[in-house]
Structure 1
C-alpha cells in the first residue's frame, strides 16, 4: 500500500472540490472536507452558511453540481441515499421520526426489520418479530432506554423520544452517522442527556454533526469545520476555531446582517 492509500483509508468521509448551485446561486463553494475515522466531526457556521445543503449533499438528498464525495475511499458521488445507507452511512433527522402510538421496543424493531429486509407489517403478530427482541433491547440499553421498552413512545419526555430515534438509527448499523441538529428545541437537561449519549455511541463509529449549540460542540467534538457563505472558513479543534478572528467576524456579521 502506497502513502496515498494509507492517507485515504484514514478518512471515513471526504469531499473533493464540492460545489452546489441553485439557479445560479452557489450554496456550496469548492469545499474540501476530510472526516477522520472514529472522530466526532462538527459542521458549524452562522445561518445561511450552507450546513444543511452540505448535509443534503453528503447523504445524497441533493446532487452536487461538481466535485466528488468519498465514503471509506469509495466514490459515492452518484450513489442513491438507499445505496449509501447500505454502505454504512446513515442520517438522523432534525425532527423526531418515531411512531408515538407504538411501544419504544417496537419502534426499534421496525428499524431492525428494515435493516434485515424483513416484511414490515406494523400491526402484525408480535410473534412474527419476537426474534428481534434481544437485538432491539441491546440497542435500547445502549441509549439508556431498556427500562422504558414496553412504554408507548408518546409517554416519554422529549429527550428520551429523541433517544428512541437514535436507537432506531443505530439499528441500521451505521459506520458513519450524520446527526442533524440533535439537540434542537431541548431544555438544558435534555441537551446534556443527548450530548452524553452521542459521546457514548461514538465508540467504534464516525459521527458528523450539525449543531447550533456551541457548548455541545465544545464538549463533544474532536474536530470542527466552519462554513460561511458556502465556503470552508476554518478547521481545527473547537478551541482553535473559536479563537479564529475570521470565524468570530462571520458569526457577528450574520447576527447583524
Structure 2
C-alpha cells in the first residue's frame, strides 16, 4: 500500500476498507472477476477525475452489482462500511483539488491504495496458506489492478468520448499511460510502448510507469475541468449569438 509523507492518509481506514472489500469479494459470485481494494480505489479515482457528477456508490454497484449491500446488512455493517468508503472518497477528492494541482504541477498529490507484494510478504502469505505457488505466479504487477479499476470506470461511464481533434488525441495518449501499467512485463506491447514514450527506455521499470500514470491522472483532472470550461464558454457564446 503506497503512502507519501507529504500527503498522509488514514491507514487504519484504508485497512478497514480493504477488509470490507475482501468480505464483499468473498460473498460475490465465484465466477465474477476478482475485485480488490486496488480495483475499487482506481475506479473511484476515475469517477472523481472524469466529467460527470458521481458518487462512491456508483463504484460499488459497478464492481459488485446492485445487491452488494445484502452481505453487509446481514452483519449490520452497512453504516460502518459507508463511513470508511466515504472517508476514502473524500481523501481522493482532496488530493485532486484543482488549486493544488495548478499551484504544484510537479508535486505528487495522489496517494493511491496500491498493494505491493514484496518477497517478505509473499513468503508470509505462502507460509500462512493464503497464497499458493500457482497463484503467486499469476499475481499482477504492482499498480496493475489499480489501473484496471481506473480504466474500467472510464469504459463504464461512457462520458470520456471526445470529437476527433487535438483534445481527443491528448486524451488517448494520457489513457495509454494508465494502460501501460497493466501490460505484462516482458511483453512486446509493453516494450513497444516504453520505446516510443521514453527517451531512455532502458531506465523504465514498473515503478516509473506507476509514477507517470499518477501524474497523468492528475493531468486528466485538469484536462476535464478545462473541457468543461470550454464547453460552458461555447454554450454561452452560442446562447448570446442566438439572442441577437
Same fold (TM over 0.5): no
Would you tell me which structure has more strand in proportion to its own residues? 1
Q: What range describes the TM-score normalised by the shorter chain of this pair?
A: under 0.3
Would you tell me which structure has more helix in proportion to its own residues? 2
Q: TM-score, normalised by structure 1?
A: 0.27
Q: TM-score, normalised by structure 2?
A: 0.28
